[in-house]
Structures are given as C-alpha cells and as structure tokens.
Amino acid sequence: MSGAARPEPRLVPHEDDDRLARDTAARVLEVLENAQGERGEATVVLTGGSMGTRVIGEVARSADAALIDWSRVNVWWSDERFLPGADPERNGVQAADAWDDSLELDWDRVHPVAGADEMDSAQDAARDYREELAAAAESEGLSAGLPRFDVALLSLGPDTHIASLFPGRQDVLREDESVFSVEDSPKPPPTRVTMSLGTINSAERVWLLVSGAPKAEALATVRRPGVTPVQAPGSAARGRQETLWLVTEDALPGVPQDPDGSPANDA
C-alpha cells in the first residue's frame, strides 16, 4: 500500500459535535448521490464509535436522504467486534439502530461481518469477509479483490487507532490479506475482524472523524511530521482522491498553529 501520491489530508474544523455529525452526514449524502448519478450505485464503508454512529443517524434523519436510492447503496464495515450477530456492542448493530429502519436498504447489499454465532473463529469471519469483498469486486468487473468504495468513514481512537488497527503493532502494516482477525486487541473485546490499512486506503475518500477534547492529543500525534503508521495508525489513512480530518474545535488545541493563529491546513 502506498499513499505517497495521494492528496494530503485536509483539516476541516467544526464548532461542535452536532455540527460535525450533521456536516459529515451532508457530505456522505452528496457523495452517495453523485456516485449513483455516475454509476447507478454507491458504496460506503462505515465505522463504529460514537461519532460514526451519530453520523449514520444524521444521514437517516436528513431531508436529503430522500435523494438517494437506498436499495442501490452498498454498505461495508472497516471493522467489527467478534461477538454474536445481535450483540449491541457490534458496530453493525449500532449502525442498524442508528438508521432505525428508515432507510430502504437492500439487505443483499449490506455486509455486516459474520458474528460469533455464525462462524467458529474470527479467522473464519475474516476469510468470509474477504470472500464477500472479492465477490462484490468481481460483480463490478474489478480484479483486485476489492469493490470500489466511494467513501470510508473512520473514527480516531484516543490512542490513534482506526478500525481495529492499534498503535505499536505490526499488523498495521499487513498487506497479505485484505481483511484479517485481531486476537488480542488492547481495547475490549479482544477478538475482532478488521480491514487492512491497504483496504481502507483503497477508498476514493477517507474521512477521519475526531470529536472532543479527549482526542486532542491523538489528533496532534497523527499530524506530527514523520510519525509512522505503526506509531499512529490514524496518520496513515489516505483516500485515493481525498482525505478529510473532520474535527471538532475542542480537539484542536494540540495542533500546530499557523502564525496567524488559525489551525494549519484549515479547510
């Protein structure tokens, strides 16, 4: 995976959580609408986390949701906790609660990671997800085993993790599998399934959500020049066309300032 030729991340500050959630939802809807205009379908990769889930709720509640043909939206998750399928701690369950039956999705296009009640192990669930991705890619006429992702949402953890890629671990660099299991996550639950960094970065757009003062240090770390993907996985997320760091202002104090006092690289 190489992000070298890709546009640098653009920092987009928001007044507060509400504005971040609403503005991100509006951006998601715009991408989905444009993608459907171009190809007849659209694909989004969702994330867990409180802000990721809130954005889904805002998408579902937005008046502009009516502009989307939800039966032609493909939904994937960048990671999942390996728990029974209906467990409320699962990212997929939290997302479904957030969209609350209001989106008329085609369930054949919604791809939760298999739960611990369906698969014997997280390795099996990861293999199953790779196969689902490869089948979707094939149906789109793509050869690399991954479908086109119009946008991938990520939520930055306080330790700079994204999906289930945690700092200080070599699996951040794994390129052998598009999706793999994590057996000893430092954040509970220990067993998870995650897209690789390369898979996440195959998305056209990667948007990193960073909300609240407790994320200020993590945001400063991912922005530190020279920081490596292993030191701060969130620093290495890069979309093909665009990378946005969608942040709340209270996450900004640790960010280097331009001489005029505004956050560097402001949108």
Chain residues binding ligand 6PG by CB under 6 A are: 47-52, 81, 91, 155, 157, 187
91/199 with CB nearer ligand 6PG: 91
Going across the sheet that includes 42-46, the strands are 10-14, 242-248, 205-210, 151-155, 42-46, 73-77
Smallest gap, in angstroms, from Cβ of residue 85 to ligand 6PG? 16
CB of 12 to ligand 6PG, least distance (A): 16
C-alpha span between 220 and 226 (Å, rounded):
12
Nearer to ligand 6PG, 72 or 174 (CB): 174
Give the separation between CA 121 and CA 78, rounded to whole angstroms: 18
* 135: three-class secondary structure by DSSP: helix
Long-range contacts of 30-35 (CB under 8 A, 24+ apart): 31/150, 31/151, 31/205, 32/68, 32/73, 32/150, 32/151, 33/64, 33/67, 33/68, 35/150
| Shortest spacing between CB 33 and ligand 6PG, in angstroms | 25
Closer to ligand 6PG by Cβ: residue 6 or 187: 187
Q: What is Dmax (Cα atoms) for the chain?
A: 57
Task: Return all residues near 130 (Cβ < 8 A) that are at least 6 apart.
Answer: 145, 177, 178, 179
Shorter beta-carbon distance to ligand 6PG: residue 103 or 153: 153
Question: Closest separation between CB of residue 218 and ligand 6PG, Å?
Answer: 9
CB of 9 vs ligand 6PG, minimal distance in Å: 17
Q: Considering beta carbons, is residue 7 or 190 the nearer one to ligand 6PG?
A: 190
Provide, rounded to whole angstroms, the least separation between the CB of residue 76 and ligand 6PG: 15
Instruction: Determine the angle formed by the axes of helices 91-99 and 50-61, rounding to 10 degrees.
Output: 30
Q: Name which of 35 and 182 has its Cβ closer to ligand 6PG.
A: 182
